[in-house]
A and B are shown apart, each in its own frame.
Chain A
Amino acid sequence: MSGLGFLATRFDAALGWARKFSLFHYPFITACCGMEYMSTACAHFDIDRFGAGLTRFSPRQADLLLVVGTVSHKLAPVMKTVYDQMLEPRWVIAFGVCAVSGGIYQNYAAVQGIDRIIPVDIYIPGCPPRPEMVLDGLMKLQDKIQSQPQDWRWKKKT
């Protein structure tokens, strides 16, 4: 192993560590799962313990898109626009069974899972999911961020 390669790996790990504990999230909340999101975000469960406490209400400042609740076909272009505005690196959590698969809304109006529109990193099912499940999903996302190869400005693109 060359010295340069060793350094790059270490830098990746450090960058992953920094990124997983500074998730600025954008809450895209459309339905009742928002209550569980609020519960998770506030003092009792407190996602700030995981470094994800800083909510940004502009997608341009956010790393993590939380799609919380049912997305209808009429709303889908809005969600896509929000996602497109986010800067790399970015992650998406589908929060609640409606965002995961359409849930009970198997009808003409609801998108049957947001992964038909945008890529999703973590799926949190439940109707709605309990805050513990959300925190579990968040920690799984952190593991994913830590273990994935990091993209950074001076990285040699393959």
Chain B
Amino acid sequence: MEKEDLIGDIRSRFPAVEGYAETLGDQTLVVRREGLVALMTGLRGAPYDYAVLLDLTCVDFLASEGRLEMVYHVFSLSRNRRLRVKVSLPGDDPVVDSLTGLWKNADWLEREVFDMFGVGFTGHPDLRRILMYEGFEGYPLRKSYPWRREQPLLPMKD
């Protein structure tokens, strides 16, 4: 399937896809968050075969003004082709469905996004901080986190 056909095909099958952009040869789909898991399930299997979740991260476009954006990178081994999927989340309700049911590596990646950005993942088996310690307050990669904020040292745990 050629590039344009592929995207057209995906868009016709998944109406939750609301946008498409191509930058420097990278294809990007923008999807509404209700349709994320359905889209990813479709992309993972035949005929698209994006079997690998390369990365999953988040961008804060000023969550205070209502925009966080999840970014997923998937890769097809059989076609040697990459695809980027973006989901926009409202800043006052940053929750999206977990992809741990599709890819196991989404587990820790989603924990990292939860830790750094405070995005909730419904259906995640073990959603807790992964990089910062227990008792850390706030989400350090949000733009609203003061860059020089120091948190109090906690007593040692046994």
> Per a CB cutoff under 8 Å, which of B131, B145, B147, B156 touches A77?
B156
B133: chain A residues within 8 A (beta carbon): 73-74
A70: chain B residues within 8 A (beta carbon): none
> Per a CB cutoff under 8 Å, which of B132, B148, B157 touches A73?
B132
CA distance A81 to B157 in the complex (A): 11
A73: chain B residues within 8 A (beta carbon): 132-133, 136, 151
Q: A73-B132, A73-B133, A74-B132 are contacts. A116–B153 as well, Cβ < 8 Å?
A: yes
CA distance A80 to B132 in the complex (A): 17
CA distance A77 to B153 in the complex (A): 10
**Closest residue on chain B to residue A106 by CB atoms:** B148
Are B149 and A108 in contact (CB-based, < 8 A)?
yes
Are A74 and B131 in contact (CB-based, < 8 A)?
yes
Are B150 and A112 in contact (CB-based, < 8 A)?
yes
B42 at the interface (CB under 8 A from A): no
CA distance A108 to B145 in the complex (A): 9
Are A108 and B157 in contact (CB-based, < 8 A)?
no
A109 at the interface (CB under 8 A from B): yes
Interface size class of A (residues with CB under 8 A): 10 to 19
**Closest residue on chain B to residue A84 by CB atoms:** B156
A59 to chain B, nearest CB (A): 16
Q: A74-B131, A74-B132 are contacts. A109–B148 as well, Cβ < 8 Å?
A: no
CA distance A15 to B25 in the complex (A): 71
B157 to chain A, nearest CB (A): 7
B48 to chain A, nearest CB (A): 38
Contact indicator per residue, chain B 132-158, by CB within 8 Å of chain A (1) or not (0): 110010001000010111110100110
Are A117 and B131 in contact (CB-based, < 8 A)?
no
A158 at the interface (CB under 8 A from B): no
A76: chain B residues within 8 A (beta carbon): 153
Are A108 and B156 in contact (CB-based, < 8 A)?
no
A107 at the interface (CB under 8 A from B): yes
Are A107 and B147 in contact (CB-based, < 8 A)?
yes
The residues of B with any CB-CB pair to A shorter than 8 Å are 131-133, 136, 140, 145, 147-151, 153, 156-157
Selected A-B contacts with CB under 8 Å, 21 pairs = A73-B132, A73-B133, A73-B136, A73-B151, A74-B131, A74-B132, A74-B133, A76-B153, A77-B156, A77-B157, A80-B156, A81-B156, A106-B148, A108-B132, A108-B136, A108-B149, A109-B131, A109-B132, A109-B140, A112-B150, A117-B153
